[in-house]
Amino acid sequence: MKIGTYMSSRVLKATAAMLGVACVASLAACGPGSSGQNTSSAEAVSTDLGDTKYELTLWDGAGLKTYDDALIAAFEKKNPNITIKATYDPDNVSQQNGPRIISSADAPDIARITDINSAVRGKHLTNLDDYSKAYGWNLPDSQTEVYRVDDSGKIGSGSLYAIPSGISMTGMYWNSAVAKKLGITEAPKTVSELEKDMAKAKSAGVLPMVMPAKEGGTSYIYQSLLVNNEGRDSVQKWILQAEGATFDTAGAVQAAQTIQSWQEKGYFSDDALALDGSTAVSRFAKGDGLFFPSGSWYSATLNESLGSDVGFFAYPGNASGDEASAAANAVSAFGIPANAKHKNAAAAFLNFLTTDEARQIAVDHGYPPIGSGTAPSTDNALLTQILAAYQDLVKSGNTTDFINNATAGMQASAIIPNFQQLLDGSMKPEAFAKAIQAQYEKEVK
């Protein structure tokens, strides 16, 4: 036993000394993560790639694989000297991995930008202004606004850092067969018409609105009410973290009151708080429920299951004549990391995204295309309605980014829990607006 004790005390001492040295060494050195380096070679901006062979890498979320692969195939056909190798991360972790991937020394040449704020602030992205000028990109402001950053690091205007591959937009699905039985023949054009239709459904024993609140699905319809009350610009300013922007407004409280009153009137199912997005869409696809506030991403699923019984309309304004609204942003916003090796070739791919061919591919995969021209054709009847709604919204400019994206932690730490508390009545609308703003202030400094 003697040796055992002797040994263990020695080992302990040695370990303690080792740890001590390590601690001091690391504390004496500068803080973690300060050794930011930029390994890229300076490459003069050019749209002429000649015959040089390029092998590019692209990174995106796994859910977009078929879409991206189609874009890449079409691009490679046009540019035989460029090949693109794509890697995909599962969608539920791409948000977390994104910042690390674009900042790594061997960053991909083309990457989904998951958090424009930290990406630009950390100087991890290539400024695309020169490419934009050289290629003559001409996208509507509403589609690039959130990918523009000025010299002071403020989003909303200034230099361009990413190009969307297609558009994701929110809106309302409705089951027109269920509606017909209730005597409703037209999609509601104002919020009060929507409320009247829901009251009709409720009294007929039909679920008025499928509401997946487990994962924050309440925010889409809420955001439209917020835009109706507060105006598009003030909501977008808040999302873009403009100076002095606040969520704690009369319009936000009022929108929260409206949502809470719908819950009190029984317009949502009892299990709304435990209902996730995929269960919700399968319920609506089976014919349960009159309205389903969601987004363009379900068009293929719902077109297939409900056919001509399903329709889509943009969230209506408060009064007749008011503009409809939607939250819309990129399916994937592609940027060129600062550490990318072949920036000119990567820019050629971004340029390809703006062409009619790429726009057709977007529609073929169920996404509204970027740009403002006539939408390409599709045999998905539901998508045709979505494209028409989006074209009107591009014209009116009444779209914002998603409030869920205002900060990195907004969705998980504020939108999901606070909407749940609003719905089950444990939080007052005033407290709700304050709680969202509190999370915002925690992260925006």
Partner 1 sequence: MSNIQVDAGRLNPKATSKRHRTQAGGRASLALVSLLFLTPALLFYGVFELWPIIQTIWYSLYEWNGIDASTFVGLQNYVTVFTDPDLYGSILHSFILILFFSVIPIALGLVIAALIKEIKSKTASTFAQVCLFLPRVIPGAAAAVAWTWMLADKGTVNQMLRAIGLGDLAHVWLGDQSTALAAVGVIGFWLQLGFCIVLLLSGMGSIDQSLYEAASLDGAGWWRQLFSITIPGLRGQIGVCLTMTIVAALASFDVVYMSTQGGPGRSTMVPGVAVYRLAFTEQSVGLASALAVALMILVLLVVGPLQRLVNGKRG
**27-86 binders of partner 1 (CB under 8 A):** 27, 31-34, 36
> Which backbone phi and psi does 209 adopt, to 5 degrees?
-145, 125
Q: Considering only residues 362-381, where is the footprint of partner 1 by CB under 8 A?
A: none
Residue 24 sits in the site that holds partner 1 (CB under 8 A): no
The interface with partner 1 within residues 402-421 (CB under 8 A) comprises 407-409, 411-413, 416-418, 420-421
Q: Rounded CA gap, 34 and 332, in Å?
A: 29
Pairing verdict, β 326-330 and 399-400: parallel
The whole-angstrom separation of Cα 114 and Cα 119 is 8
Q: Are 325 and 227 in contact (CB under 8 A)?
A: yes
In this structure, what token pair is assigned to residue 425? Answer: 């009545």
> Which contiguous run of DSSP H or E holds residue 128?
none
* Under rule CB under 8 A, residue 214 binds partner 1: yes
Candidates 13-21, 49-57, 182-190, 386-394; binding stretch for partner 1 (CB under 8 A): 13-21
Strand, helix or coil for residue 381: helix
1 binds partner 1 (CB under 8 A): yes
Q: Report, in Å, the least distance between residue 423 CB and partner 1.
A: 8
Task: Using the rule CB under 8 A, give the single segment among 8-16, 307-315, 324-332, 343-351 that binds partner 1.
Answer: 8-16
Stretch that binds partner 1, among 25-33, 199-207, 295-303, 324-332 (CB under 8 A): 25-33
Distance CA 389, CA 315 (A): 10
Question: Interface with partner 1 includes 246 (CB under 8 A)?
Answer: no
Stretch 112-131: interaction string toward partner 1, x if CB under 8 A: ---x--x--xx-x-------
- Rounded CA-CA distance 9/15 in Å is 10
Phi, psi for 364 (deg, rounded to 5) = -60, -25
Q: How far is the CB of 32 from partner 1 (least distance, A)?
A: 5
Whole-angstrom Cα distance, residue 293 to residue 104? 38
Shortest Å, Cβ 147 to partner 1: 19
Least distance in angstroms from the C-beta of 57 to partner 1: 19
In the complex, the smallest distance separating the C-beta of residue 132 from partner 1, rounded to whole angstroms, is 26
Give the type of residue at 301: T
At 224, list the tokens.
Answer: 């439209």
Residue 427 interacts with partner 1 (CB under 8 A)?
Answer: yes
Q: For 340, which DSSP code?
A: -
Contact 200, 267 (CB under 8 A): no
Q: How far is the CB of 282 from partner 1 (least distance, A)?
A: 13
Q: Closer to partner 1 at the Cβ: 329 or 407?
A: 407
Is 95 a binder of partner 1 (CB under 8 A)? yes
The answer to whether residues 292 and 282 touch, using CB atoms and an 8 Å cutoff, is no
26 binds partner 1 (CB under 8 A): yes
Q: What part of residues 272-291 is at the interface with partner 1 (CB under 8 A)? A: 272-275
CA distance 212 to 294: 9
Question: Binding to partner 1 by residue 136, rule CB under 8 A?
Answer: no
Paired residues of 291 in beta bridges: 174, 209
Residue (of 39, 79, 150) closest to 350 by Cα position: 79
Nearest approach in angstroms of CB 188 to partner 1 is: 28
Our CB check for partner 1 shows the closer of 29 and 250 to be 29
By CB under 8 A, name the one of 61, 99, 164, 295 that touches partner 1. Answer: 99
331 vs 431: CA distance, rounded Å: 33
In this structure, is the dihedral angle defined by the CA atoms of residues 260, 264, 268 and 271, taken in order, positive or negative? positive
Indicate whether 443 belongs to the interface with partner 1 (CB under 8 A). yes
User: Which region, judged by CB under 8 A, interacts with partner 1, from 12-20, 69-77, 147-155, 336-344?
Assistant: 12-20
Amino acid code (one letter) for 351: N
Under the binding rule (CB under 8 A), the answer on residue 205 touching partner 1 is no
180 makes contact with partner 1 (CB under 8 A)? no
Q: Do residues 364 and 350 make contact, with C-beta atoms less than 8 angstroms apart? A: no
Fill in the amino acid letter for 382: L
Residues that bind partner 1 (CB under 8 A): 1-4, 6-7, 10-11, 14-15, 18-19, 22-23, 26-27, 31-34, 36, 95-96, 99-100, 103, 115, 118, 121-122, 124, 213-215, 269-275, 407-409, 411-413, 416-418, 420-421, 424, 426-427, 443
